[in-house]
């Protein structure tokens, strides 16, 4: 069998939808209002906040600096360490995008599974900003948090 014949055999195959590397749900299941969310849980949080708690002001995907970039002893430039919070919740507007955070603001992260990197960044965030970072696993947990 020649190489051309072998390639022709493969062209007749019909491949199904390609599976995502990180086993996330399909993009259309995670899209609302033209926003593609990182997870279905994050999408559900957004819908809950938007429809059931309109009095709660929120910002999505707010970036916080945890450590500045620097040049190491070998002269290699090291990037800054950042943390991106899923939601900033508060009752007063406008919410700060970055900068000082008051105790009236709650930082929420939709977490299905906690990773080692997340645990380290959570500690760095709480140390630097002095605010508790709430990792919420379900819509029910978010409802309880919003009622308090």
Note the pLDDT of residue 121.
94
Say how many domains are in the chain: 1
136 is a domain residue:
yes
Using CA atoms, how far apart are residues 82 and 49, in angstroms rounded to an integer? 25
Instruction: Return the pLDDT at 28.
Output: 65
Question: Phi/psi class of residue 46: alpha, beta or left (left: φ > 0; alpha: ψ in -120 to 50)?
Answer: alpha
In a domain, 74, yes or no: yes
Q: Is residue 1 part of a domain?
A: no
Mean pLDDT for back-to-back runs of 10 residues, the chain (148 residues): 76 57 62 82 89 86 92 95 89 53 77 89 90 87 83
Domain-located, residue 16: no
Domain that holds residue 135: 24-147
pLDDT for 8:
74
How many CB atoms are located within 10 Å of the residue 129 CB? 18
108 found inside a domain: yes
pLDDT value of position 55: 84
For residue 4, being part of any structural domain is answered with no
12 is a domain residue = no
- Single pTM value for the model: 0.70
Nearest CA-CA partner of 136 in 115, 112, 120: 112
Give me the pLDDT at residue 76, please: 95
Among 127, 90, 135, which Cα is nearest to 108's?
135
In a domain, 47, yes or no: yes
Q: How far is 123 from 114, CA to CA, in rounded Å?
A: 13
């Amino acid at each position: 069998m020649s190489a051309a014949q072998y390639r022709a055999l493969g062209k007749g195959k019909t491949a199904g939808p390609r599976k995502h590397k990180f086993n996330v749900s399909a993009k259309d299941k995670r899209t609302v209002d033209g926003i593609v969310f990182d997870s279905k849980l994050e999408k559900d949080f957004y819908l809950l906040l938007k429809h059931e708690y309109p009095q709660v002001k929120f910002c999505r995907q707010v970036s916080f600096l945890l450590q500045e970039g620097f040049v190491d002893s070998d002269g290699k430039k090291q990037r800054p360490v950042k943390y991106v919070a899923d939601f900033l919740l508060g009752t007063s507007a406008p919410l700060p995008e970055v900068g000082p955070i008051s105790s009236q603001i709650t930082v929420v992260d939709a977490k299905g599974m906690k990773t080692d990197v997340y645990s380290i960044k959570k500690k760095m965030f709480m140390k630097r900003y002095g605010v508790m970072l709430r990792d919420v696993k379900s819509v029910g947990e978010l409802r309880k948090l919003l009622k308090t």
